[in-house]
């Protein structure tokens, strides 16, 4: 390129030199010599950048909104199909092929079981069945773990495994952890009797965690139900309320009388 320019500049007339100078000024390989972009081109480029950013944000917003809805519908549809499959083969043999009829039958069956177990005869049958299951070497462990899971969310507060939701200072000062009060006991020592609460603190799963014995006065009891506490643990804290207030608990006379009776 340099040799061609020297040849043109030495043996060419003035018009050819002007053409070479124009070519040098419009050299695309040299950004300094390239022509400046027009104002209209810069405006269009900025508009397309803003429009692309706006479209990306709206698309992500739609994904964020539709993702939980799709997951909810998918799990609900799968659950209906799964439950409907219990009694649907029976209706198909009878010549009745109506989708959802097996699901309704399953719900009625579960309700009937709950109604039967609530009676004296049903409770007796359930107790005898549990007695046989607990005698089996391997099945009893599976049944015990399953029963703990169902008992924890039982609507009957008399048999629920989790008594209250608790907040304890753990593991360091200034840090708190969610737990569930499962039972209470009286610790007798030289300094006097002390009421301790057994607090179950889940780690990475609702039923895998540690048990701590903590003084009852050092436990913060928030105004949360058992179901709300389970939802907080299972969701990884995503369902955490914006504000948590402790319960206004009056002095428990039963505990005081129990401590006095033990001290005597």
Contact 161, 144 (CB under 8 A): no
Q: How far apart are CA 210 and CA 221, in angstroms?
A: 18
Confidence at residue 1, expressed as pLDDT on a 0 to 100 scale = 46
* Per-residue pLDDT tens over the stretch 219-244: 888 888 888 888 888 777 777 888 88
Cα angle: 94, vertex 96, 101; to 5 degrees: 115
pLDDT exceeding 70 applies to what percent of the chain?
Answer: 71
By the 10 Å C-beta count (0-12 exposed, 13-18 middle, 19+ buried), 147 is classed as middle
Most confident by average pLDDT, 12-21, 31-40, 217-226: 217-226
Cβ neighbours for 211, distance < 8 A, ≥ 6 positions apart: 182, 198, 199, 200, 201
Whether this prediction's pTM lies above 0.95 is answered by: no
- Looking at the predicted structure, is the pLDDT value of residue 216 above 50? yes
**Cβ atoms within 10 Å, residue 156:** 8
Cβ neighbours for 196, distance < 8 A, ≥ 6 positions apart: 184, 185, 186, 187, 213, 214, 215, 216
Q: Which neighbouring-strand residues pair with 192?
A: 189
Mind giving me the DSSP string for 206-249? TTEEEEEEEEGGG-B-BS--HHHHHHHHHTTTTT--S---B--P
By the 10 Å C-beta count (0-12 exposed, 13-18 middle, 19+ buried), 233 is classed as buried
Q: Coil, helix or strand for 142?
A: helix
- Looking at the predicted structure, is the pLDDT value of residue 264 above 60? no
Confidence at residue 49, expressed as pLDDT on a 0 to 100 scale = 82
Confidence at residue 36, expressed as pLDDT on a 0 to 100 scale = 57
* Per-residue pLDDT tens over the stretch 153-212: 565 555 556 778 888 887 777 788 888 888 888 888 877 888 888 888 887 666 677 888
């Amino acid at each position: 390129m340099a040799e061609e320019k020297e040849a043109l500049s030495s043996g060419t007339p003035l018009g050819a030199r002007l053409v070479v100078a124009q070519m040098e000024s419009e050299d695309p390989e040299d950004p300094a010599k390239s022509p400046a972009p027009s104002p209209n081109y810069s405006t269009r480029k900025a508009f397309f950048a803003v429009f692309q950013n706006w479209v990306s944000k709206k698309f992500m917003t739609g994904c964020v909104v539709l993702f939980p809805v799709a997951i909810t519908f998918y799990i609900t549809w799968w659950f209906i199909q799964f439950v409907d499959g219990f009694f649907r083969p029976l209706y198909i043999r009878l010549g009745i092929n109506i989708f959802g009829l097996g699901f309704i039958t399953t719900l009625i069956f579960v309700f009937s079981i709950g109604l039967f177990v609530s009676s004296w005869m049903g409770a007796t049958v359930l107790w005898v069945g549990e007695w046989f299951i607990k005698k089996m070497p391997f099945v009893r462990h599976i049944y015990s773990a399953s029963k703990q899971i169902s008992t924890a969310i039982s609507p009957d507060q008399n048999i629920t495994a989790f008594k209250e939701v608790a907040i304890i200072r753990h593991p360091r000062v200034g840090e708190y952890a969610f737990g569930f009060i499962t039972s209470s006991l009286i610790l007798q020592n030289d300094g006097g009797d002390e009421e301790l609460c057994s607090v179950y603190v889940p780690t990475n799963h609702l039923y895998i965690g540690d048990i701590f014995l903590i003084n009852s006065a050092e436990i913060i009891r928030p105004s949360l139900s058992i179901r709300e506490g389970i939802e907080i643990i299972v969701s990884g804290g995503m369902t955490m309320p914006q504000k948590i207030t402790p319960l206004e608990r009056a002095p428990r006379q039963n505990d005081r009388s129990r401590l006095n009776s033990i001290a005597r």
